[in-house]
Structure 1
Amino acid sequence: MSFNFKEMMTASMILFAVIDIIGSIPIIVDLRKRAGHIQSEKASIVAGILMVVFLFVGEEILNLIGIDVNSFAVAGSFILFFLAIEMILGIQLYKDDAPETAAVVPLAFPLIAGAGTMTSILSLRAEYHIVNIIVAIIINIIFVYLVLKSSGRIERVLGKQGISVVRKIFGVILLAIAVKLFTANIQNLFK
């Protein structure tokens, strides 16, 4: 186990950009209006458990089907690239039906711990120590919980334009991370 502050911060920023809980505030507010209440604690805990379990079991699942982590990381870099393009350009490449209730399932999965998050976690595992990724997951889950609890206030303070600006900034960061992830892992595939 090798704790590294820089790795932990980088992993935290990657997960923060991929989870995009700030950009999801309009969906969360809509859920709250329809259901009346959001189960912030349950959604955060379930999402955190899903991410940590996938961190440990995801690689075994890949090995079972004959895919190495570097190949998965390269594929994950493409997903991160397209997520970043969506965030920067404000377009939607992948259309998913909006969740209909504010139960744990639509919030924890796919809104918080969705396909992009799971791909990122396995991609991070190819580059960083597990302890740093776990700390990054915990930091993000705490932040997700705080955002879920205060989503109405955040929406009023930032406004639609503010949320849009934050989303674009993290889109650019995510794009740079996708390029770095691709270049680091594509080299490992040819060694």
Structure 2
Amino acid sequence: MRYQAWGWPWESAVDAFVSALVVFFVVVDPVGLVPLFIGLTQGFDARRKRVIGLRGAATGFAVILFFAYFGEVVLKALSITMPAFRIAGGALLFWIAFEMLFAKRAERKERAADEARTDDEAHDLAVFPLAVPLIAGPGAITSTLLLMDRYGATLAGQGVVLGAAAVVIGGSALLFLVADTVRRLLGRTVIHTVSRVLGIVLAALAAQTILSGITAVYPPGVP
């Protein structure tokens, strides 16, 4: 007997959840956000840091939730097909992987953090740049659309994708709460090493996404 979750075999649900979890963990990069959060919140007391971290995580998840359910509507309004979005999204994810491997992504995020400090704290650090684009950036939004296209046909699939996003973003919020401790324990070397390893994983996922888009347009064996 195969146990099922909302009509979906547990084995498939677990595999889909792990796959989505890896994708979100790579593109959001919670560990890499820790030093940026520390830089953004310099000068704030402990209570205000907690508020910024929790509000930023909640806002980032709200953005992911919006694109999970309305992103396809936006694509249809612009007459963009999912195979085309898969190819473009895969190319974007590959570029993010390239930046991670060669330390370009961290430099770009640090520039965003610096701009926020010089522009009157960007009115609200929790929304910009913490929620967007550091948490719910182009990579996370693209991944959400691609994962919902792959798994979101059922309620179970939608729960898997959003659950994976919630776990990663919730984990990011927890890291924000203990950011100073995490920085002391891991150090910059470990954080940068993890980022590069995840970059290799993301590059492979990006290549698979591009191949899926191409085979959707040109199925194998069809002349």
2-structure distance, mates of 1:93, 1:141: 18
Is the counterpart of residue 131 in structure 1 residue 140 in structure 2?
no
2-structure distance, mates of 1:50, 1:92: 21
Q: How much has 1:94 moved relative to structure 2?
A: 8.8
Q: 1:21 aligns with which of 13, 21, 30?
A: 30
Q: What one-letter code is carried by the residue in structure 2 that aligns with 1:6? A: D
Q: How much has 1:185 moved relative to structure 2?
A: 2.0
Q: Which residue of 1 aligns with 2:20?
A: 11
2-structure distance, mates of 1:72, 1:16: 21
Q: Which residue of 2 aligns with 1:103?
A: 125
Q: Which residue of 2 aligns with 1:55?
A: 68
Is the counterpart of residue 190 in structure 1 residue 203 in structure 2?
no
Q: How much has 1:103 moved relative to structure 2?
A: 2.3
Q: CA RMSD in A?
A: 1.9
Q: Which residue of 2 aligns with 1:118?
A: 141
Q: Which residue of 2 aligns with 1:30?
A: 39
* Local SS of the residue matching 1:33: coil
Identical positions, percent = 25
2-structure distance, mates of 1:93, 1:163: 11
Is the counterpart of residue 168 in structure 1 residue 187 in structure 2?
no
1-structure distance, mates of 2:212, 2:66: 25
Q: Which residue of 1 aligns with 2:85?
A: 72
Q: Which residue of 2 aligns with 1:86?
A: 99
Q: Which residue of 2 aligns with 1:177?
A: 205
Q: Is the CA contact 2:86–2:212 (under 8 Å) kept in the aligned structure 1?
A: no
Q: Which residue of 1 aligns with 2:3?
A: none
Is the counterpart of residue 159 in structure 1 residue 174 in structure 2?
no
1-structure distance, mates of 2:63, 2:177: 20
Q: How much has 1:49 moved relative to structure 2?
A: 1.2
Is the counterpart of residue 43 in structure 1 residue 56 in structure 2?
yes
In structure 2, runs of 5+ residues without a counterpart are 1-5, 152-156
* Local SS of the residue matching 2:32: coil
1-structure distance, mates of 2:66, 2:107: 25
1-structure distance, mates of 2:216, 2:59: 34
Q: Is the CA contact 1:81–1:179 (under 8 Å) kept in the aligned structure 2?
A: yes
Runs of 4+ aligned residues of structure 1 deviating over 4 Å after TM superposition are 92-96
Q: How much has 1:122 moved relative to structure 2?
A: 0.8
2-structure distance, mates of 1:131, 1:23: 26
* Local SS of the residue matching 1:66: coil
Q: Is the CA contact 1:25–1:155 (under 8 Å) kept in the aligned structure 2?
A: yes
**What TM-score do the two structures reach when normalised by structure 2?**
0.79
2-structure distance, mates of 1:34, 1:116: 30
* Local SS of the residue matching 2:163: helix
In structure 1, runs of 5+ residues without a counterpart are none
2-structure distance, mates of 1:189, 1:26: 42
Q: How much has 1:92 moved relative to structure 2?
A: 4.8
1-structure distance, mates of 2:107, 2:76: 27
2-structure distance, mates of 1:111, 1:76: 18
2-structure distance, mates of 1:118, 1:16: 13
